[in-house]
Each structure stands twice: as C-alpha cells, then as structure tokens.
Amino acid sequence: MRRTDSRFQALMQAGNGDFRRLWFVGMMVFVVRWLETVAVGVVVYEKTNSAFLVAMVTMLRLLPMGLFGAFLGAWAEKVERRTALIGMVLIMGTVSAVMALLAHAGTLQIWHLALASFLNGLAWATDNPVRRVMIGEVVGPDQMGIAMSVDVGANNASRMVGPTVGGLLLAGVGIDGAFALSVVLYTAALVAALRVRYRNTGAAGSSSVLARIAEGLKLVRGDARLIGTLVVTVIYNVFAWPFTSMIPVIARDRLGLGPEGVGILASIDGIGAFAGAVFLAMWLRPAWYARAYVGGVTIYMIMLTIFALVPNQLVAGIALLCTGLGGAGFATLQATLVYLAAPPEMRSRILGVLSVCIGTGPIGFVWLGLLAEAIGAHWATAVTGIVGLLAMALTWRLWRII
C-alpha cells in the first residue's frame, strides 16, 4: 500500500502542477459532455418521440472521431499542444453559449442540437492526441498507467454528477439552464488550460499530414499488440457504448421515470465507473493491463444486456453500476496500452488512429437506432450486447496477445 501511495503522491507532484491542470480541464469537459448528453437526449425524445433520433444526435458527438481522428492525430504532432487545447475548450464553450441563447429565446430546434453535438464532437476528437499526450509527456511513461486511472476517474466522476445535474436542471429550469451551466464549466476549464506551463515544439520535418497518417497505419499493421487493442476498441464502440443513448428511452418507457429519475439512473453507471477507476488507480499493475481491458469490455456488454431486459428499477440500477465497473477497466487501459506500445515520436498520430477506432461508434448508434425503431429500445439494446459478446469471441485470436 505504501508503494501505491508513493506512486500517487509522485504523480500529483509531477510537472509542477500541470498534471492537475490537465486533469481539471478533462474533468470539466467530461461533466459537460454527460450533462448535455442526458439533457439533450430527453429533449429530443420529448419533441420527436423517436429513439432513432435520440441515437443519431448522440452519435454526432462521436462522428468527428471517425471522420477526422487520424488527421487530428497527425496534425497534433505539428502544433503546440497547449494552444490546441485552449482552442478546443473555446470552441466547445462558444457552441454551448449559442445553444443557451437560442434556448432562452425559445428558438432552439432539433437541428441546432444536432449541429452542436457535431461541433463539440469535433473538438472532443482532439482529446487523445492533444490533452492525453500532454499528460503522458508531463508525467512520463512510468506513471502513465496510474495517470490514466486518475484521468478516467475524473471522467467517471462526471458520469455521476453530469447526468443528475442535467436531469434536475432540465426539470427545474429547462434546457437553457443546462447549457448555461456548461458555459460556466467550460470557462473554468479555459482558465486551467491557460495556466498550463507545458510547451512542446512541433515535430521536425516537412512530411505532410497524409504521410504521417500512412506511417502511423503502417506501424499499427506491424504490431500485434496495437491490432488487438484497436480491435477491442472497435467492438466496444460499435456494440457497447451506443447503449448509453438508449438509457433515457428505456428509463422513460420501460421503467417509468421522469427527467429527474432519468438523470439519477444514468449517473449510477458513473458511480460504478468511478469506483472501478479508484480501484485500478490503487491496485492495478502493468501485468494485469490486458486482462482488465478485455475483461472490462466483456463485463460491460453482459451488464448492458441485463439492464435492457429487466423491468425492475433496482435491478436495472445494479446492472448499470456493473457496466460502470467494467467500463472503468476498458477506459483506463485503452489509451494507456496504445500510448505505451507506440514509439514516443509517433504517439500523437497513433492516438489519432485510436480516435478513428473510437469514431466507429456512429455505426453502432445508427444500427441501434434503427433496430430500436423496429423492435423497441430495450430489445434492440439486448441484441446489440449479445452480438458484441459474439464479436469478442470471434476475434479472440487477435486480442489474446495484447
């Protein structure tokens, strides 16, 4: 236990406070993401009564990763990352401010929410090749595992706070109040980003972004560990992650909850994820990275299937708690495994490739949305979880060597 304590203390002292500032920026962005996901999902469903449109609006936050992730990763190697981070926060804060004004004026439309989701997703797609690469460079490779545990812990804590706050604001104030709070949180993140002391110089050389992408893909093709890690990432983002868009639908239609109840139920997943991240930060060792990664995905898909099928609020909440525990293993180790496997000079572009794999999520959102329209949200979610488990079984030869 002393060894763990000393590692944690060393981490929190690393980089003269830059790790804490980067962690705080991530925490604020994560809270807003979950706050807006639940609030927007409820509003879209109330206005359209379409599970498909709820899935599509949520999907638009992931779409830029698939479209631009590799380009952003290669681009991030050529720019000063602190400046890119500040720009990312400014874009997201501006979008939320515009949404708050439109909602307050009573002119907010579904297409506004869809466009805002896409623009915020575009900024969010820079998180892996910009902010998380900065974390790795600030703390060093030896501390990267525990740093990711702490960073994912912030994400997971936001999944406790964000949905609950989003649901309560939606019920008590309206969607304009949710977006106004988002602006406040982004402002706090901007202040922290401006205080980051870390600087990097753009990568030397005149190779184009496309040439850098080609080099990154060539490295991935030749590394079995990277292939296995990225295959699991694709499976998770196509068959597991999209179920989060159905939580408001299932909570309202199957479990009979209002906006406040939807927010509280959605936050239970975050409670489990936060507990899992704390456990991993305290006790996980490198020898167990691959097991925690693959095992987390498997647990997640089993539990989301149970959540979809049970009509009882308590059992559904327990299932979401367990999805959080499983998701913590996946989320903590995803970027860590890729970061440690990539050569230092190529980490941004390889994390850009990871972003592309995360960006396959829209395929799952479209599939789940269409299936939900055809057979109902809870049956569609259960089918997706079962198909995901089958995909893990069929690809075991690839991920067993991670």
pLDDT digits (tens, 9 = 90+) for 27-74: 999 889 888 887 888 888 888 888 788 878 888 887 887 788 777 877
Does the structure show a pLDDT above 60 at 12? no
Give the Cβ contact number of residue 109 at 10 Å.
10
Q: What is the pLDDT of residue 7?
A: 57
How much is the average pLDDT of 66-86? Answer: 83
Tokens linked to 294 = 């693959």
Question: How large a percentage of the chain has pLDDT more than 90?
Answer: 36
Cα 296 to Cα 201, 206, 217, 232, 364, distances in angstroms: 36, 41, 26, 11, 19
The model's confidence at residue 299, banded by pLDDT at 50, 70 and 90, is very high
The model's confidence at residue 8, banded by pLDDT at 50, 70 and 90, is low
Q: What is the pLDDT of residue 203?
A: 58
Is 220 in contact with 353 (CB distance < 8 Å)? yes
Nearest partner of 76 among 365, 402, 347, 295, judged by Cα: 347
DSSP string, 90-102: HHHHHHHHHHHHH
Does the structure show a pLDDT above 90 at 383? yes
Sign of CA dihedral 260, 264, 267, 269: negative
Helix (H) or strand (E) holding 301: helix 289-309
DSSP string, 341-398: HS-GGGHHHHHHHHHHHHTTHHHHHHHHHHHHHHH-HHHHHHHHHHHHHHHHHHTHHH
Question: Helix, strand, or coil here: 233?
Answer: helix
What is the Cα–Cα distance from 188 to 31, expressed in whole angstroms? 12
Nearest partner of 30 among 339, 305, 330, 331, judged by Cα: 331
Higher pLDDT, residue 70 or 305: 305
- The gap between the terminal CA atoms of the chain, to the nearest Å, is 27
How much is the average pLDDT of 262-271? Answer: 83
Nearest partner of 125 among 162, 173, 74, judged by Cα: 74
What is the Cα–Cα distance from 215 to 343, expressed in whole angstroms? 12
The mean pLDDT value of the chain amounts to 85
pLDDT in tens, 140-182: 877 777 787 788 777 777 777 777 787 788 778 888 888 999 9
Cα 401 to Cα 130, 288, 329, 339, 397, distances in angstroms: 28, 13, 17, 17, 8
Nearest partner of 157 among 259, 34, 22, 299, judged by Cα: 34
Question: How large a percentage of the chain has pLDDT more than 70?
Answer: 93
Tokens linked to 45 = 């469903």
pLDDT in tens, 90-125: 999 999 999 999 999 989 999 999 999 999 888 888
Helix (H) or strand (E) holding 326: helix 313-341
What is the Cα–Cα distance from 397 to 294, expressed in whole angstroms? 13
Give the Cβ contact number of residue 160 at 10 Å.
23
Q: What is the pLDDT of residue 115?
A: 93
Q: What is the pLDDT of residue 173?
A: 82
Q: What is the pLDDT of residue 9?
A: 59
What is the Cα–Cα distance from 156 to 323, expressed in whole angstroms? 12
Q: Which residue type occupies 312?
A: N
Does the structure show a pLDDT above 50 at 86? yes
What is the Cα–Cα distance from 344 to 348, expressed in whole angstroms? 9
Is 189 in contact with 30 (CB distance < 8 Å)? no
Q: What is the pLDDT of residue 182?
A: 92
